[in-house]
Amino acid sequence: MLISIIIPAFGREELLVRCLSSLNRNIQGDLDYEVCVVDDGSGLDEVNVREKAAVNFPLIWRSFKSSRGRSAARNEGIRSTSGIILVFLDSDMEAREDFINTHFKYHSTNPRIAVIGKILWPEGGSFLRYISSRGVAKLKPDEKVPPWYFVTGNASVKRQDLPSDGVFDETLPGWGGEDLDLGMKLHLSGVEFMYAPEAVSFHHFVGDLAGHIKRTALYGKSVLPVLVERYPELEKILRLDLLNSFVLRLAVHNLFFIPAFWTIRILDSFPFPAYIYDYLTYSAYAGGWLKRERL
């Protein structure tokens, strides 16, 4: 098999159906591809999903009896497939035309790379505009992609380039971190990162600023301590080293953070500049990071 597309899923059957439907006839030419869905213990009905999506490609279905997390689901997908190129796609995304071809094209012309595709977000207020402009979306065309921008909602890598000591870390506590961990592993092994804006997926995102802040704070408290110990350079990259300054610690204190958060949340229709959301995001994970010192 040439290409394996791995999709971790948990409930939300209709979005998974839309995701799989978008992969029907998504290619030009004779590219050989398979898709693997791993249900993370939510009890999705495989037969129902297959029928609704009118699947016309080889579909491998795996199910956990209980939830084990996205890392475990992706690892199961890796074990269950045989593709030379692995494409990771989230179940709440729809692949646009030539999605598969584009990922293949980048790997066929570039050795040892990890490809990050373009993710489109729903239109909405200031917060949605902000998150749609983060990561690789804010890079200039000739700017090198750093490993900490690696996200597996829409990404691909050759199987032979995956780390031999484990791909997605299933031991990381709390939310997030597995993508950053894999990105750093790939980087340290010599893999380079490329942005493929032609590999487009639409993200049916339904979150809000409050959820973003809550997840980010937990990430700073439970996940970042593990990752920074593993990759010390992240402390400077994420500007956690600045928290040695009393002024920075004061700036991210609730005394300033909470008024800013509620102002931005209430006035979401106002076109706030990105640096306001950068402050809120940094304050959230920095606040979590500081709390880890008291554990």
Supply the mean pLDDT for the chain.
Answer: 93
Q: What is the pLDDT of residue 99?
A: 95
Do 54 and 74 belong together in one domain? yes
- Separation of alpha carbons 241 and 244, rounded Å: 6
Boundary of a domain, candidates 203, 234, 259: 203
Instruction: Please compute the mean of the pLDDT values over residues 245-269 and round it to a whole number.
Output: 93
The helix (run of H) or strand (run of E) holding residue 273 is none
Supply the pLDDT for residue 205: 94
Residue 294's pLDDT is what?
A: 53
Q: Determine the structural domain holding residue 47 and report its residue range.
A: 3-203
Q: Please tell me the number of Cα atoms within 13 Å of 35 on its side-chain side.
A: 27
- Give which of 26, 51, 48, 49 is closest to 37, Cα–Cα: 49
Mean pLDDT of 124-148: 92
Q: What does the alpha-carbon distance between residue 260 and residue 207 come to, in Å, rounded to a whole number?
A: 19
According to the model, what pLDDT value does residue 173 have? Answer: 82
CATH of the domain at 85: 3.90.550.10
The two beta strands, 3-9 and 33-39, are: parallel
Same domain, 12 and 105: yes
- Whether the pTM exceeds 0.85: the reply is yes
Of all residues in the chain, the percent with pLDDT exceeding 70 is 97
Q: State how far the Cα of 61 lies from the Cα of 21, in Å rounded to an integer.
A: 15
Query: What integer is the mean pLDDT of 180-188?
Result: 96
Of the candidates 148, 183, 203, which is a domain's last residue? 203
Between CA 151 and CA 135 the distance in angstroms is 9
Backbone angles phi, psi at 266, to 5 degrees: -70, -35
Question: Domain ends where: 203, 238, 271?
Answer: 203
| 159/54 same-domain check | yes
Q: What is the pLDDT of residue 293?
A: 61
1-51 pLDDT, tens per residue? Answer: 699 999 999 999 999 999 999 998 766 667 889 999 999 999 999 999 999
Which residues on adjacent β-strands are paired with residue 118?
Answer: 200
Place of tokens 């505009």: 129
Average confidence (pLDDT) over 117-135: 93
The rounded distance, in Å, linking the Cα atoms of 45 and 149 is: 34
Residues 217-246 pLDDT 10s: 999 999 999 999 999 999 999 999 999 999
The pLDDT confidence band at residue 147, using thresholds 50, 70 and 90, is very high
Please report the pLDDT score of residue 4 as a whole number: 96
Residue 164 and residue 226 in one domain: no
Verify that 128 and 257 share a domain, yes or no: no
Number of structural domains the chain divides into: 2
Same domain for 215 and 134? Answer: no
Sheet bearing 154-158, strands edge to edge: 59-63, 33-39, 3-9, 85-89, 154-158, 113-120, 192-203, 93-95
pLDDT of residue 295: 47
CB of 277 closer than 8 Å to CB of 130:
yes
Mean pLDDT of 266-279: 93
- pLDDT tens digits, residue range 86-120? 999 999 999 998 999 999 999 999 899 999 999 99
pLDDT recorded at residue 29: 64
